Amino acid sequence: MPFVRQFEISGDPSLNLKLMLFNAKKLYWFAQFTGWSSYVAVAIVFNVILDQEIETPEIAALASIFVIGILVSHLYRQAILQYEWLSLNIGAVIPRIIFGTLVMSVIFELVYVLIIFLLTQNSDILKADSVIQDFVSWVLLLFTWSTLYFLYHFFKNYKKEEIKNLQLEASHNEFQINRLRSQLNPHFIFNAMNSIRSLVEEDPKKAKKAITQLSNVLRNSLLMDQKKLIPIQDEIAIVKDYLEIEKARYEDRLQVNWEIDNSKEQRMIPPLMLQTLVENSIKHGIAKLSKGGLINIKLDCVPKGCEIHIQNSGSLHQSKSSGTGYGLKSTRERLQLLYDDKASLNIYEEDEFVNAKIFIPKDSKYIKK
């Protein structure tokens, strides 16, 4: 029974298109010659194993199969490309493979019989049993060739679709992240301006200082606006300016405690994430308490990642009654888009404090070099 190993290799899609097509064509012909040469080599080995002499008729037959195989399989491939069989679904492809294999096997047998008869003048090649045996062999051979050919292109197209889907998903995520970030900036500016407005009549001097601090915050946030991730220390600088604005408004009602190890500040986080949680703590916690309260901000890096822990005086019931605001929802969405399920945001109450704890996974691509 004839045997063949046939495959086609395409060029690297990252290369120039012309170079890619040249390499694909070159490798295709290399595969053709290699595959049909392998068949001839295997046939010779079987003859040797069976102690059959390889004389002129056998050599002529093997050489004919090599040449005819390359020509017929290439003709088959041209028909596949011309009629765009590769774009069809499997239900439509299977009958075409069967039909194409039978047609090409008939062509193979006709050309093979004609060449062998002209070369050897041996009429045995024209006998019915010999023709049927050879025809069945060509059917099996070309069916194997076409099956491998279509399987190769199936997996190739599947990989292309997978890459395309990943690119679409990444593009969608990028759009969502930009949308969330663009909504956070006005949200933050609105709250900061409200804080300054309350100071204009009460203490113009503090209001002037607060405006300067707000300009610093806006300048820094605009510079970071196009970044997915920023160093924690840059975010801390914005938060400290923001808290100075709020302190001018709340005075002794707002107390802030920082626990930060400077050696751990090289971690990267989404811009305005820490600021959003601090803003949420003031709006839904400190502002609702007549005596004010305390905000604890702690950054701690653990082996698996980095934890940002923000505590504020108050209760979850108090926060829920005033609405949790846009900040927590947007923070969860951004964490999901950037890190999938590897990051988390948990909100819970403990010892008269509302706790917001973010975990950001340790990953080299999110760490500042």
User: What is the DSSP code string of 306-327?
Assistant: EEEEEEEES-HHHHHHT--HHH
- Which one-letter amino acid corresponds to residue 52? Q
Whether 206 maps to a domain, the answer reads no
The pair of structure tokens assigned to 28 is 């295709």
Whether 232 maps to a domain, the answer reads no
CATH code of the domain containing 275? 3.30.565.10
* Phi, psi of 172, deg, nearest 5: -65, -45
Whether 285 maps to a domain, the answer reads yes
pLDDT, residue 53, reads: 65
Whole-number Å distance between alpha carbons of 101 and 148: 13
Question: What does the pLDDT average to over 139-164?
Answer: 78
Q: Which range marks the domain in which residue 141 is found?
A: 17-166
Statement: residue 77 has pLDDT above 90: no
- Which one-letter amino acid corresponds to residue 135? F
Q: What is the DSSP letter of 54?
A: -
Looking at the fold, whether 157 and 268 belong to one and the same domain comes out as no
Whether 234 maps to a domain, the answer reads no
DSSP 179-194: HHHHHHHHHHHHHHHH
Statement: residue 47 has pLDDT above 80: no
Task: List pLDDT tens digits, range 282-293.
Answer: 888 888 888 889
| pLDDT higher at 76 or 228 | 76
Comparing CA positions, the residue from 142, 143, 144, 156 lying closest to residue 9 is 156
Q: Which range has the worst mean pLDDT, 13-17, 149-153, 294-298?
A: 13-17
Question: What does the pLDDT average to over 3-31?
Answer: 53
Domain end position, chosen among 113, 132, 166:
166
Looking at the fold, whether 36 and 157 belong to one and the same domain comes out as yes
Q: Which range has the worst mean pLDDT, 29-33, 67-71, 278-282?
A: 29-33
Looking at the fold, whether 51 and 161 belong to one and the same domain comes out as yes
pLDDT, residue 44, reads: 82
Task: List pLDDT tens digits, range 204-247.
Answer: 887 788 788 778 777 766 666 567 778 888 888 888 888 887 88
Question: What does the pLDDT average to over 323-336?
Answer: 70
Whole-number Å distance between alpha carbons of 208 and 196: 8
Task: List pLDDT tens digits, range 94-134.
Answer: 888 899 889 988 998 888 888 888 877 777 777 888 788 88
pLDDT, residue 173, reads: 58
Whether 255 maps to a domain, the answer reads yes
DSSP 222-247: HHHTT-S-EEHHHHHHHHHHHHHHHH
Average pLDDT score over the chain? 76
Percent of the chain at pLDDT above 90? 7
Whole-number Å distance between alpha carbons of 282 and 32: 72
CA angle, 133 as apex, 98 and 149 as ends, to 5°? 35
Q: Cα–Cα distances in Å, from 349 out to 30, 310, 315, 317?
A: 69, 12, 6, 9
Q: Cα–Cα distances in Å, from 133 out to 42, 115, 126, 170?
A: 18, 17, 11, 55
Q: What's the domain count of the chain?
A: 2
pLDDT, residue 188, reads: 61
Looking at the fold, whether 158 and 278 belong to one and the same domain comes out as no
Q: Cα–Cα distances in Å, from 39 out to 32, 61, 63, 115, 132?
A: 11, 12, 11, 19, 20
Whole-number Å distance between alpha carbons of 184 and 188: 6
Whether 171 maps to a domain, the answer reads no
Looking at the fold, whether 158 and 269 belong to one and the same domain comes out as no
pLDDT, residue 166, reads: 64
Looking at the fold, whether 160 and 285 belong to one and the same domain comes out as no
Question: What does the pLDDT average to over 28-40?
Answer: 81
Domain end position, chosen among 166, 199, 220:
166
Whether 69 maps to a domain, the answer reads yes
Domain end position, chosen among 166, 184, 202:
166
Looking at the fold, whether 155 and 260 belong to one and the same domain comes out as no
pLDDT, residue 6, reads: 34
Task: List pLDDT tens digits, range 307-321.
Answer: 899 999 988 876 555
Whether 240 maps to a domain, the answer reads no
Looking at the fold, whether 148 and 259 belong to one and the same domain comes out as no
Looking at the fold, whether 162 and 25 belong to one and the same domain comes out as yes
Looking at the fold, whether 271 and 153 belong to one and the same domain comes out as no
Whole-number Å distance between alpha carbons of 212 and 206: 10
Statement: residue 13 has pLDDT above 60: no
| pLDDT higher at 14 or 171 | 171
